[in-house]
Amino acid sequence: MFDGLMVGQYIPANSPVHRLDPRTKILSMLLLITAAALAKGTGFLPVAAVSVFALLLSRVPFLFLWRGFKALWVILFITFILQIFFTPGETIYTAGPLTITKEGLLLGGQMLLRLVLLILISSLLTMTTTPVGLTAGIEHLGRPLQRFGVPVHEMAMMMTIALRFVPTLLQEAFTVSRAQQSRGAGLSGVTLERKFTALVSLMVPVFAGAFRRAEELSTAMETRCYHGGAGRTKMKLLTYHPGDYMALAVSLAVPLAVLALRLSGSNGG
């Protein structure tokens, strides 16, 4: 399951979404995530419509996106099951001590849709923005905090490096897991204690590899005389274009539409 996750992976393409300013994509992501968190019932429609439209514009292969969601199906399934079985309300079906309620189905469906949208929106940012662009965008948006002594550049760099290494570490965990399975260390039909031991044996080489990569990255940055954001210049300046203003306007309209639907009472939930 490790090789299917989308988090932190950049997919190069020449799409309208890729060409947007990184600041535009970061702000749009925050606005859409806020809208998804607030949405209920019909309030999901504008969030889903804009998210799917952005996905189509990004030209990200659907197969790649499907692999990412397939890797997270366990989390999505458990979330849905917890909602339908443990939400009180009008009983629809009873199986022993477990009861499925109408309210649980509605809440479970909404929670499932909300998680799918959150994953899609956040993944679109990393899939269409280079690590360098992401760092520059976060740094520009956080500039006002520099007046209060906040090391914005260093924080942006740390966030970007951490995000960039997520797929690398997951791939390494996948490789170690496959290597252990090829040596007969399968987890099927073993006790819980054996599974825990196998998990420890998986995490030890993964963490060792993470420390090794961190040391290599530190050495590479030192050899290139990296000393933080003080006095650094930009090879590529960030500028807003008409498409950025249009994207921001649409992204701002989505949470406003969700709030309007909630206040009008026509959210269906």
Q: pLDDT tens across 9-29, in order? A: 788 889 999 999 999 999 999
Distance, in Å, from the CA atom of 200 to the CA atom of 57, rounded to the nearest integer, reads 42
What are the residue ranges spanned by the domains of the chain? Answer: 2-264
Q: Taking the alpha carbons of 248, 31, 132, 223 in that order, is the dihedral positive or negative? A: positive
Is the CB of residue 206 less than 8 Å from the CB of residue 173? yes
In the prediction, which pLDDT does 269 show?
Answer: 53
In the prediction, which pLDDT does 22 show?
Answer: 94
Q: Taking the alpha carbons of 118, 121, 127, 130 in that order, is the dihedral positive or negative? A: negative
In the prediction, which pLDDT does 230 show?
Answer: 65
In the prediction, which pLDDT does 106 show?
Answer: 86
The pTM is what?
0.76
Q: pLDDT tens across 192-223, in order? A: 666 667 777 778 888 888 888 888 888 888 88
Is the CB of residue 104 less than 8 Å from the CB of residue 85? yes
Closest among 5, 122, 137 to 54, alpha carbons compared: 122
Distance, in Å, from the CA atom of 164 to the CA atom of 158, rounded to the nearest integer, reads 10
In the predicted model, residues of the chain with pLDDT beneath 70 are 1-8, 68, 71, 184-196, 228-235, 266-269
